[in-house]
Structure formats: structure tokens, C-alpha cells
Amino acid sequence: MKLLPGRRTTLPDPVERGLDLGRGDRPIAWAIDDNTDVHVIATTLHIASVAADGTQRVKRPWHLVDAGQWNADTWTLSVTWIDKARAAQWSFREQDTRLPEAFRERVQATVVVSEPLGLTGARRSGRVVLRRDLSTQDLLVQPVLGRGTPADDPEVQAEVARISAYLKEQAGL
């Protein structure tokens, strides 16, 4: 990866060790967060952030990303997670990095198909996504409810179950 003058073109050894990469996992793109100085790394199987001393801060498989947003004005990548874990946000002012593109490509690689919930009305939005775990190639069904959509609503539960069953049938699960 090409970086600005003075930047290393490989990860520092402590950071690479801190990634704790398994078989088949390798760094694709990385940048250093302006606010925390952690290395944010897109690997073939994970998104990770590792401090310069090798301390791992985040390491999540791509299929757990709910959404990502790149703000080109502030050079900021924001990430939310399917499991509602604390969102992440990193900024990379004026760094020549392919991290946003790698992020998008890796997330898209996990999405097989997405079906919206067929419900109408306020607080009744969402989707069911069939995704691939890139490390095992297993297919996973993930309901993703919109903001304020109650998971305990019987109609929401029935619609999620209906779409989940349909996607599983289509995938041969």
C-alpha cells in the first residue's frame, strides 16, 4: 500500500503480532487513527484496531458489521455492529489509504442477499440478511431491525421468522 512520505509501508512488528492472524487471514489495508494513534486494519477475515504496543482494541469478523459510513470531508470511518456492540469511529486525515475501499469490499463479500421486512407503519422497519462467515464459509441469517422497531412485537417476530425461513430454504439450509 502506498502511504504518504515518511509512513511505513508495512505494519510495525508489535501491531502485526497483536493482530493474532490465523490461517488464511492477512492484512489488506490499514491506516492510523488520528485521535488514538491505533492502527486500523482491514484483513481478509476481520476489521481490527491495534495499538502501537500490540494491544488489540477491536477485532471483529466482517459479518458482524451492520453498517459503515465513510465521510470524505472529515476522513472518518464510522462502524455499527449487528450485535449492537459499541460503535467504532476512526479518522485518517490526509493518509493515502485504501482502508475505506477495503472495508466496503470485505463487508459486501459477506452479504449473500438481504430482504426487507414486509411491514408498514412507524417503528416497523428492518431486514433479514443472509451472510457468509468468511472464515468458515458458513451461511448465517441475521435479522437487523430498524431504530425503534421492537424485537418483542409479535408481528415483527413473525415477519422475521417468515423471511428467515424463506432465505434458509432458498440457500438450502
Do 90 and 123 share a domain, yes or no? no
- Encode pLDDT of 4-15 as tens digits: 444 446 899 999
Please give the DSSP secondary-structure letter assigned to residue 38. Answer: P
Alpha carbon distance, N-terminus to C-terminus of the chain:
39
**Contact by Cβ (8 Å): 64, 81:** yes
Same domain, 148 and 131: yes
Residue 37 lies in a domain: yes
18 and 101: one domain?
yes
- pLDDT of the residue at 57: 96
Which pLDDT tens digit goes with each residue over 54-92? Answer: 999 999 999 999 999 999 999 999 999 999 899 999 999
pTM of structure: 0.87
Closest C-alpha to 162, from 128, 122, 120, 126: 128
3-state DSSP helix/strand/coil percent for the chain, to nearest 5? Answer: 25, 35, 45
Say if residue 13 is exposed, middle or buried (CB neighbours under 10 Å; 0-12, 13-18, 19+). exposed
